[in-house]
Amino acid sequence: MSLVRPQELPYSPISRATIQENVYGRIREMILNGDIEPGRTVTVSSLSEAFGVSAMPVREAMHRLVAEKALKVVAGRSVGIPTLSAARLEDLRRVRCEIEGMATEWAAAAITPADLRHLDDLIAIMEAAKAVKDRARYVPANRDFHFTIYKAAGSPALMAIIESLWLQIGPYINLLKETENWSRANEDHKAIRDALRSGDRLAARVALQEDITEAAKALESVLKR
């Protein structure tokens, strides 16, 4: 039995840039999913070990996420989620209402039947998750719901801004599991979907802004505890 030589394999070496992007993407996903909770920290070494990579791509990913205000340096090589003050929460709420509201309004004129069916499926998933308070299912479905709409707007520039906003607010959105916002949010989701289905741009925008505002109110009550 002969050994297959590296040059015979139909694959090229994984580039450093590819590893870097993969590590960045995984840490980013952890932030959005609430796996790095506010008040807790992670280190370069712990993430390097978890991902099975050297410290370099983890360090570079962390630097990017700190620059994007998704993480902050806590001490030495540790990073954590930036503190969310009432003023910062209100600032993010106002900006999200404008930017995400605009994307939703644009989406109303371009959303496809396939997109709408996907929104139906996601609402059903969130209803089931809400019934048993299953955050692990609800959180990604909620994000998928919103980003299905924003992608339908067809603006990469707008999408980049929205992704930055979600990186900043995402870890705190996960704290809403301690509130009754689960129930209210899905009613707003249904109103958004119905407005999109009927092509009512203004109603879609207003329902989306209501969803963001109600979540911010619930989150403010959690942060005051």
Are 73 and 107 members of one domain? no
d(CA 207, CA 204): 5
Number of structural domains the chain divides into: 2
Domain residues for the domain of 165 are 86-223
Q: Is residue 10 part of a domain?
A: no
Are 98 and 203 members of one domain? yes
CB 169 within 8 A of CB 223: no
pLDDT value at 9 more than 50: no
CATH number of the domain bearing residue 24: 1.10.10.10
Are 114 and 174 members of one domain? yes
For 90-145, write each residue's pLDDT tens digit: 999 999 999 999 999 999 999 999 999 999 999 999 999 988 888 888 889 999 99
CB 116 within 8 A of CB 196: yes
Q: Is residue 4 part of a domain?
A: no
Q: Is residue 33 part of a domain?
A: yes
For 150-164, write each residue's pLDDT tens digit: 999 999 999 999 999
For 92-107, write each residue's pLDDT tens digit: 999 999 999 999 999 9
Residue for token pair 């209210």:
184
Query: Which residue would you say has higher pLDDT here, 213 or 9?
Result: 213
Are 128 and 45 members of one domain? no
Q: Is residue 6 part of a domain?
A: no
For 188-223, write each residue's pLDDT tens digit: 999 999 999 999 999 999 999 999 999 999 999 888
- Between vectors from CA 120 to CA 117 and to CA 125, what angle results, nearest 5°? 130
Q: What are the φ and ψ backbone dihedral angles of 14, each rounded to 5 degrees?
A: -70, 125
Are 154 and 175 members of one domain? yes
CB 220 within 8 A of CB 173: no
Q: What are the φ and ψ backbone dihedral angles of 15, each rounded to 5 degrees?
A: -75, 155
For 84, residues 6+ apart whose C-beta sits below 8 A from its C-beta are 38, 169, 172, 223
Residue 175: what pLDDT?
82
- Give the CA dihedral 47, 53, 59, 61, nearest 10 degrees: -90
What mean pLDDT is predicted for residues 74-95?
90
Are 75 and 117 members of one domain? no
* pTM for this predicted structure: 0.85
